[in-house]
Structure 1
Amino acid sequence: MKIDSKPLRYAHAEGHTDVCYSEDGQHIITCGNDGDVRIWVDIEDDDPNSHCVGESALAVCYKDKRLYVATDNHVVQAYTYPAFDKDGIVTRFTAPVTQIKSSSKIEVLFFDPIVLGCTSENMEAKLCNLEGGAPLFVMTEHTGPVLSIAICPHMKFASTACGDGKLRIWDIDTQKIVKEVSCVPKINTFYAAKVLCRMDFEPTEGKYLAYPNNREIILLDCETWGQRMTFTHNLAIMFKIKCAISQCVFSPCGQYLAGSTVAGQVAVWEIGSGACIDITTHPTSHNVTAMAWNPKGNGVLAYVDAMGQLGMLVNCYGKDSSAATADNNEDVEMIERVDDNDDIVDDLIENYESDDDNAISLQKIKNETLGLVEQDESRPASRRNATPAPSTVPPQAPFQPSSTPAHLEHRYMCWNDIGIVRCHTAENGESTIDVEFHDTNLHHGIHLNNYLNHTMASLSSTVVALACETPSKLVCISLVGSSKEWSASMPDTEEILCVAAASHVVAVATNARLLRLFTPMGTQRQVISLAGPVVCLGAFNTAVLAVYHSTDPGPSDQHLAMDIVALNGRQVRSKTVPVPLTPASKLAWLGTSDVGSPCAYDNTGMLRMYDVSSGVWMPLCDTNMHARGASDSWFIVSVSEATQKVRAILCRGASFPATAPKPIIAELTIQIPLCEMDTEKSQYEEQLVRWAHTTSDVDVKTARETALKLFALACRSEIEQRALELMELLKDDRLLPLAAKYASRLGRVHLADKLGNLAETWEKEADRLNVAQTSHFQELDTQETYDVTNTEQDLNASLIIPQKVKEKKVDADTSLRPVPIKSSPGRARNIFKKKSTNSSVAQSPLSLTERTLVEVHKPTENSENDDPSAPLEGETFVDWFTRNKSILERQNPELGPSELTRQGIKIFKTVQGKGANNTENGPKRKLDEDTNNTETHVVNAPKQSKLSAFAFQKKS
């Protein structure tokens, strides 16, 4: 028999509405946004009793001849029933109360209290005594508004659903969390929640917990917390569940389960068979905000919607509600009669096996419903009573990186370093797409009418790619030349799930596990089969990144892999790498850096980059370190290796930004999470590791300076072996003499000797290991290289290999010029003693490196006239300034362009005059005197000025 629906009738003003039954099932009680509580004899009651409790009332509950109402002053007020007199305040909150629910009334012991569960928007949930007083249990570990609560009838467990995305199950005795499930859409206020995620414990024995998860309801076993069963629509049902389920509630007998969706659909399932009895649709498709079964057990279900209307469903048990009680009594009597012949029944049950899920099992009825027969462990368990398989998380659905959910009226379809693609949907269903470019010189903005209802978009410097699922069609607008548009329709059996566009390729992934590649002008380039269901796509230049499920998900983790496909002419190469994720997380963004390194970001806030040259994933940035609140998240826009920055948008209380007002992009610093990052040693180590694996805009001098500071810290810590190990690790011929000189000045004679012998050791080892290393890396290149570029570079050069430390221009003939040390007669010379000050402040362990690092980049002075800043013969100021501008900028970072030019003119005239004097008059001092003078100058000045390399030393 189908479920019958009574006509809706007005109950309260528009807004959140709640409903419950009196314990005898004679009255329906509702409350709403108008602040009234109404008591109905039946849905056809034209004159219900109405009582005003305030400006609004969000929740109502009936228990032990009392009504508990959540009023607008954030309290749970008790009223007598039916007189409706105030009877005290149960508890108070600092924000609106979102739900009130009592524990089920089963056979409890005399010392087990019947409690009231209350939730609030202030991120708290409480278990309160009906008589008031201090709460029995306060659940405070939520990081968002608490939407709903459920209490186990045995008072062992309680469950809460929170706007931070988590469903938490609490042990009431220990007051700790025993399980967390991610099934709640994240919101920052109760009034913005469409999915209330209202769960329910099985009321007769409390063995199961049912909670909504997208378009299905999950049944958990309360002993193992494993997934027992999943409820969704049957193929035989005319109507299908079209959107997310918001709440579920067990019938009083525990044999049926009702669930409602945000579009007003109400479905009823039979627990034993798992079959869906029927699905009813709301006449106006409004969100159902609350449901309540009639305690009489007659299959009547009352519900209210977001418009304040009251509705009723009858015959929800699949039979006439008026005869439900009589039928139940007959079934009980029949089972009791059959129970007298236990031997015959046991033989029938043991020998009967049915593949029909709807078959009636007497064993099951006796065990689960009446508890008359206990399971014999020696017999094989039936298929339904078998131990459930370990539950797994659902596989992650396909998504578009840098986009917001598709159900929003105003959303971002794509936001990357090229521009922004927005989609706006009006109330009448009309949709438009706007394309905005960050650089207006690249292309002007584009406005399109979204006739095909495109839900996916990707943007590059050469093309705008749009796609839709049904009809599955790819539409691209070329940004090169005259902005030509082209389209490609998928075969009838395929639907586009993901799309990605780059400067030289457009890619789409379909539900047939095919990756289809196009050129920006519409030529079909390649069709590739993926090894699993696709998750998302990314692209850069001529390479495509395809992430898919490599295997089925585990109990908490997604198992993802990524194919890196590179194109060049007719050649195609691919490389498959696993995608690492934080435990119990999902992939939230996929893209590349500004130089093409693949990057992945999960929903826990960890950003990782794949270094193709080494074949490893590296954590680059933990965005949680930059968030202010626990419910805040970051929306990644782009990653830059040159500036070592991540451009992202801070989303407060949500996982995606709003379209209005336009959010502000923040820059997060890339930092590899080494240990003890608050120490100076770890900070230097992090810089060296990061510069070695990213294309950072760092010159060689800065890198050597950092390395020498790390070497100085090791020497000062009296860990000579670590200092030697660092030099062996770096293998820098230019840095080795500086390290040896620094060690000798500190009195580390043995360390200086070992450093002096390292250069010869490196040459011997290079000759010995050259053959083995060459063959080894050639084998790795053959196995892992996926680039097919065949221009002036080698064929095996990687397409996305980042360039290492970037060297700025340094004269090729520069060499080390050690500083002479004058011996002191009669006693050892203190190299740390200051000559020009009497300050007693201790000298920094890195002070020596500041002087020697200037010397390592200073050209060798073979003669007095060999000054690198001296103008060449016939060289004008413009040519001289152009040649030395980078050095002047490095030595004078505080000067502006005009000030730098004036300073350059002064230096040019000074050096030019010096050269003229030396040419005309010749040297005025002997070489020995000049050398001694220079030595004295270096020794007396621990620090040289920034322009010391250009300054002219006037001779007296």
Structure 2
Amino acid sequence: MSSTRRPDRRYAHPPGATFTAYSPDGRYIITAGTNNAVRKYTVASEDEPETIDDCQESNTGLAVANDKFIIGSEDGTVSLFNMSSNELDQILVRCSLPVRDVALSPDGNWAAVASDETAVKVVNTNDNVQIMYLREQSRSVKHVTFHPTGAYLAASGTDGVIYIYSISSQQPSLIKKVEGVVRALEPDDDATSKAAWSPDGRAFAVVTPTKDIVVISRSTWERQRTFSTGHTGHINDIAWSPNGAFLASAGADGKLVIWESKTQTIIKKYDQPKVKSISWHPKENTLSLTNNDGELVTLPNVLPPDQEGLLLRPPLLNDTSDAGTTDKPTPRQRRDRSLSRDPLDELMGLDDDDDFIIDDDGMGYAEPKSNNVNKRGFEYIHDDGYNPSTKRRAYDAWEPTTHAPFQPGSTPWRGGRKYLALNLIGFVWTVDQETHNTVTVEFYDRDLYRDFHFTDPYLYDKACLNENGALFSSPKTDSKPAYLFYRPHSTWSTRADWRIQMPEGEDITAISLSNSYIIALTSKSYLRVYTLFGTPLRIHRHPHSPVVTCASWRDYVMVLSNGPVAATGHTTLTYSIMNIKHDETLQADAIIALPPNGVLKSIFFSEEGNPVIYDSEGVLLVLQHWRSPGQANWVPVLDTTQIDSKTTNTKTVEYWPVAVAHDKFHCIVLRPAEKYPYFPRPLLSEFDFKIPLSSSTSTSTQSAPHEETLVRESLLLSLLEDLIGARPSTSEEGHARSTREHAIDRAILQMLAVECRDDKGEKALELCRLFRDRDKGLELAGRIAVKYGRGVLAGKIAALGEEEEMEFL
């Protein structure tokens, strides 16, 4: 461009607050002002701008993407426009009070709206029914800005506090309050308090009460650099150049100042009064601004020729020395070795200590994996469920392969976050904030329970959730012991939550929570039992070690541990079931029934109180007769590999077990190649029990469904009878028992009809011996035999009834 070009000044709107922004591709510049017209200018064109008249009046915010733009107005309306058609697509959202600022995420899928309401709304631009609410601020918010990755949002409150939210999951979480940097402002003040993220996302710039601009580090939340003595009046707007090499600021003193980021020195000053909004061209040495006179001013060659090359340098914001690999270095490794510096490090003078990695694509490259130790200091467990540190190595002494400990319902760390618990009550997850974690507990029934969120300095890595409360545990480290923390959902006293410190050197392996007790299984094979109010009740050492996990229901606890070594070289997985209240053992050191070379994926009690396991082959099994010592059997109730492919759209899908309730398997259907659920939280699916008796290609296809019903209902009836036999039954349980007996007899009659049609009299007679209600069942069976013309069979059925009567007498 020629250096002699003069500023281009156009009257875009009537006098008043006017806003502007370039489209990210640099093709258009959009303006909005006090009237109901939006101006769309084509860059480098002398033609008149296109005018869009479907907008509201008194506009207060503008955000632009390549294919769309949004405008907020004082009447509380946020409008979404199509860039190509110049038409109003929809009213994206309405607020009850004036809108003060809007922002679009980098991908354009989410719009943040700040208004005079206390909460900030984050709305999905493709489905405006999806709305996230940011509610941590005490007063209204004046500005909102998205992090360059879209994973974070900065909300500048009118109370002088900048709220940093993580919004990469369906439930946003507050990760930091930056206080004492910006001043409190009224919503309609011309002065700005927005947090302008640097293009690499490592820091953001804000304006201080002393009219300086400071850069706040994203990793330490401390002041890193200061741009000072540039203005004598309050600053109305600030904006980074596309590659972060320069910063522009405009103030009430009528000055537009261009700063060099590296040295924080002033490169050039322009006389531009009443500036309201600044926008850099994404690719050229050009800057545009709008003022309170309704003008759009474009400054070509905004930087001198000797600085233009620095502005147009490609924004290489990340080190590319590891391009094409998936095993990224950890932040500490990046600091310990000499790599080429990030251009923005050099431009802004950022220290190496400010280096950090954001793992927003969920690939896990921000998590160190060295010597089988993850970022929290725990041993890294392979996906096969075994501890790799104990696998046999060449020329070493032989050691058995043990089952690694795990917490049911918990997922591994990924992208700085993990689920701690998932069940039918709700879900618990934690987010790594480097120096601490933030924990969120969310419920499905929000009329009965209230969601909560808290800062976690203890770094809880395990959790349990039920109708009464939430239980957490933290691991021990070199500097602190392990802790157990319980928080009830409701209480009539002032404070009912409690925290217990484990003895020195003792770590927590697994925890469980029932309506009666709290269980902590520790690294010393101790089973520690507490009441719901933290009173130690029992402690004993489990006879087999190392222990693996535990689960509990009401007065019962089930403990899993490594047992004798099998022929494969793996230890067997044993279980014991105890009644805590009566201090008695129901099952002692019995074997978990796993397939050859299979591992246990999860264990829990069903809603009806029966132990359930889910193995690596996708089979769900329930423990039958577990209240009778030595009589327990693991019975498969569902093989997920046989689930109809039309339901899941794929035959290779994986399932994440969540719960068993009402004869259904509740789970999360994972995406292809996924092994664990991730964010945003997926929906729950449910599948009916189906005993794996035969495949769909069986020759007896007519009888197969009835045979499966017979076996399934007989199993469920036995589980119910065991429950009724253990304590006084209720009327509902009596009715359920009768219903299951009728289902068994109905299945037998349906099978009998099939056998009569096929003239298989001997099998039909055999079926007649299985009726639960013998009298009624044999009567109906005789009628079926007569219907199909099987007179001999009808006679034998009648004789069978007489034999039964004689035996009774």
- Could you state the TM-score of these two structures normalised by the residue count of structure 1? 0.39
Q: Which protein shows a greater Rg?
A: 1
More helix by share: 1
Question: Going by fraction, where is strand more abundant, 1 or 2?
Answer: 2
TM-score where L is the length of structure 2: 0.45
